[in-house]
Amino acid sequence: MAAGDIVDLIVIFRTQSDVEASIVRGLLEANGVMSIASSAVPHSLFPLSVNGLGEVRIAVRADEADDARRIIEDHLTDMTNGRVVRLRDEFDALQHAIDYRFRDRGLLEHAMTHTSRANEDVSGGVTDNESLEFLGDAILGFVVADILFREFPELNEGQKSKIKAALVSTTTLARQAERLTVGDHLLLGRGEEKTGGRRKQALLADGYEALIAAIYLDGGVEQARAFIQREFAPLFADARRDGQMGQDHKSALQELLQSRDQPLPEYRLAGTLGPDHRKLFRVEVSVRGEPLAEATGASKKEAEQEAARLALEKLIDS
């Protein structure tokens, strides 16, 4: 619709998710139908409506309304009393895995959208999950600290800090994400897809934190806390049993090698990934010059510990 045109507009779609609205508009445009989106709620912080406080309306020319409705209906899975409920949900498996159903599924899609996908969207209607990741990191840290304070009163501050650092580390979060197959649901750009982004620890950890934020925004702090408690229950159980988290895998590897009359392991920084403010370190561990394992971490120490853990698994199984 050209600027200045005076035409009759009809609202043919309503949603409380800006993400879903952008999908519908893209769908209509791909079929040659131009549309206009409007909302009574300003979206200054997040590109979405939170807790049903706002409604996004999509309108088209009156003479294209029937075609627009048909196009949308062809992509629907549910209708309630003639009103749109949602587009085809590609995240059913993920919602089942996390044991939480989103009221606003656009939040979940937002959480899974990596910056590489957003950068490829020329319309500017797709936003990446970095803000959600930031929020999720804060929520996770708070909930973990609260649980440690309430359920581990016998541990001193240093012990609690060590457990918390291990629980919220990139390595741990990536493992949690892998268990939920978060990587399968990430929305990536073509470049990240080609370079194995679905298996990258940093992307998995970021997606996991964004997922926590999405649950919080959709269901409130109690739902986010319940999710974290379910997910981390085995890790808290390990901490309760052992009195600590984050075992010293480097020492364990050294002891195993010495018991086999082998020399001490050597650790080498194999490279770094990402920008300076979110750099990941890749470390390789070897014995007698033979590589045993390689791992990444938010610090060289974390990467070395993970590489040692992988090397231990390899040596024990061999």
pLDDT digits (tens, 9 = 90+) for 300-310: 888 898 899 89
Q: For the ranges 26-40, 69-83, 209-223, 227-241, which has the lowest average pLDDT?
A: 69-83
Predicted local distance difference test score (pLDDT) of residue 19? 66
261 with 194, same domain? no
Q: Is 287 within a domain? A: yes
pLDDT digits (tens, 9 = 90+) for 33-65: 889 888 765 544 444 444 444 678 899 999 999
| Token reading at 193 | 């897809």
Q: Is 199 within a domain? A: yes
Q: Is 18 within a domain? A: yes
Q: Is 10 within a domain? A: yes
Q: Tell me, what CATH number does 311's domain have?
A: 3.30.160.20
Predicted local distance difference test score (pLDDT) of residue 83? 40
138 with 230, same domain? yes
230 with 287, same domain? no
Instruction: Give me the chain's average pLDDT, please.
Output: 83
The range of the structural domain enclosing residue 61 comes to 1-88
Q: Is 166 within a domain? A: yes
Predicted local distance difference test score (pLDDT) of residue 258? 84
pLDDT at 20 over 80: no
Predicted local distance difference test score (pLDDT) of residue 287? 92
76 with 179, same domain? no
DSSP 113: B
pLDDT band with cut points at 50, 70 and 90 for residue 214: very high
* Contact between 86 and 78 (Cβ < 8 Å): yes
261 with 313, same domain? yes
Residues 6+ apart with CB under 8 A from 250: 265, 304, 305, 308
Give the chain's domain count.
Answer: 3
- CA–CA distance, 240 with 219 (Å, rounded to integer): 29
147 with 208, same domain? yes
- CA–CA distance, 196 with 202 (Å, rounded to integer): 12
Residues 6+ apart with CB under 8 A from 150: none
Predicted local distance difference test score (pLDDT) of residue 245? 53
235 with 277, same domain? no
Q: For the ranges 55-69, 231-245, 256-270, which has the lowest average pLDDT?
A: 231-245
Runs of H (alpha helix) within the chain: 18-30, 65-73, 92-98, 105-111, 115-120, 130-151, 157-167, 170-179, 190-194, 201-219, 221-242, 249-259, 300-317
27 with 69, same domain? yes
Q: Is 259 within a domain? A: yes
Domain boundary, last residue among 69, 88, 107: 88
Q: Tell me, what CATH number does 23's domain have?
A: 3.30.70.790
Q: Is 300 within a domain? A: yes
11 with 74, same domain? yes
Residues involved in catalysis: 137, 209
Task: Give the CB-side neighbour count of residue 296, counting CA atoms within 13 A.
Answer: 19
Domain boundary, last residue among 208, 224, 242: 242
161 with 236, same domain? yes
Q: Is 275 within a domain? A: yes
Q: Tell me, what CATH number does 214's domain have?
A: 1.10.1520.10
Q: Compute the average pLDDT of residues 153-176.
A: 87
State what percent of residues in the chain have pLDDT above 70.
84
- CA–CA distance, 111 with 129 (Å, rounded to integer): 5
State what percent of residues in the chain have pLDDT above 90.
40
CA distances from 87 to 6, 77, 78 (A): 31, 6, 8
Domain boundary, last residue among 242, 275, 299: 242
Beta strand pairing status for 36-39 and 76-80? Answer: unpaired
218 with 286, same domain? no
135 with 232, same domain? yes
Predicted local distance difference test score (pLDDT) of residue 48? 41
| Token reading at 110 | 């937002």
Q: Compute the average pLDDT of residues 243-261.
A: 75
